[in-house]
Amino acid sequence: MARGLQTRARHVARRATTTGGSHLNVERCALNSLPWTLSELNVFFIMRRAIYPGSFDPVTNGHLDVIERARKLFDEVIVAVAHNDEKQALFSLQERLDLLQETAAKIDNVRITQFDGLLVEFAAAQKATAVIRGLRAVSDFEFEFQMALMNRKLEASVETIFLMPKEEFTYLSSRLVKEIARLGGDVSSFLPPAVAKALGKKFAASKKK
Ligand code: PNS
């Protein structure tokens, strides 16, 4: 959409909102004075946004696969690293954010950020309609199911959507990758190169100590 047309569309939407506000008003105005249908305007004005939360300690190819899948369903995906995660992380919060920035942020309309406090409060503040979680195996299900239902109880407007990564990533987890790397195994096929390098450095540094 050319910039002039965008400005005009915004003006029409604002006029519709100040004169009663509903989507129907937007539709009427749009149909009367603009060459676009409501669904075309929706694409322009209403962003479908999802949050993909986690510890990302570190981000793996499995996470990136889930982000790609989520991007096909949502206009924007916010990858949110939990700040007050109780787990003892190997990478600092800043390192995890940097690695995500270097890998996931290359995907169109993916934003990297951190959050603390309740996930659903963060999701609502970001105007996200969904929380994305990767589901690898039945063993993930019990905890994920409990968390999804609890989150729904806390904030009914945010849905949890489970996405299954590619089969080759179903046995992949950050925890296993860290353990293999710590014991000197090759993890390069599970991680983006920048992450494999950072993990190698971490363990090389801890061996020297
Ligand atoms: O990658 P992880 O460790 O499985 O992610 C878990 C995470 C960070 C998504 C979860 O612990 C979380 O949502 N933490 C934020 C605090 C919160 O909202 N807790 C209530 C969950 S019902």
Mutate to test the pocket of ligand 1, among 67, 93, 96, 119 (most ligand atoms within 8 A of CB): 119
> Are residues 77 and 71 in contact, defined by beta-carbon separation less than 8 angstroms?
yes
How far CA 95 is from CA of 33, 59, 198, in Å, comes to 50, 11, 9
Is position 174 annotated as part of the catalytic site? yes
Atom of ligand 1 nearest to the CA of 147: 22
Indicate the top mutation candidate among 52, 55, 135, 140 to test ligand 1's pocket, ranked by most ligand atoms within 8 A of CB: 55
- Same domain? 60 vs 155: yes
Query: Are residues 85 and 104 located together in one domain of the fold?
Result: yes
Both 9 and 73 in one domain: the answer is no
Structural domain includes residue 58: yes
Residue nearest to atom 21 of ligand 1 (CA): 147
My answer on whether 27 and 85 are in the same domain is no
Output the pLDDT for position 134. 97
Does this model's pTM top 0.95? no
Residue 196 lies in a domain: no
Does 117 share its domain with 36?
A: no
Q: Which helix (H) or strand (E) holds 133?
A: strand 130-134
**Ligand 1 centroid to 53 CA: how many Å?**
7
Q: Are 86 and 137 contained in the same domain? A: yes
Q: What domain range is 8 assigned to? A: 3-45
pLDDT at residue 1, as a whole number: 45
Residues 80 and 165 in one domain: yes
Residue 17 placed within a domain: yes
pLDDT at position 19 = 44
Same domain, yes or no: 35 and 54:
no
User: To 5 degrees, how large is the angle CA 93–CA 204–CA 67?
Assistant: 40
Which stretches of the chain drop beneath a pLDDT of 70?
1-32, 37-45, 85-86, 206-209
Q: DSSP 3-state assignment of 88?
A: coil
Tally the domains of the chain: 2
Same domain as 80, residue 57: yes
Give, rounded to a whole angstrom, the gap between the first and last alpha carbons of the chain: 57
Per the annotation, the verdict on 22 as an active-site residue is no
> Which residues does residue 110 pair with via DSSP β-bridges, in sequence order?
77
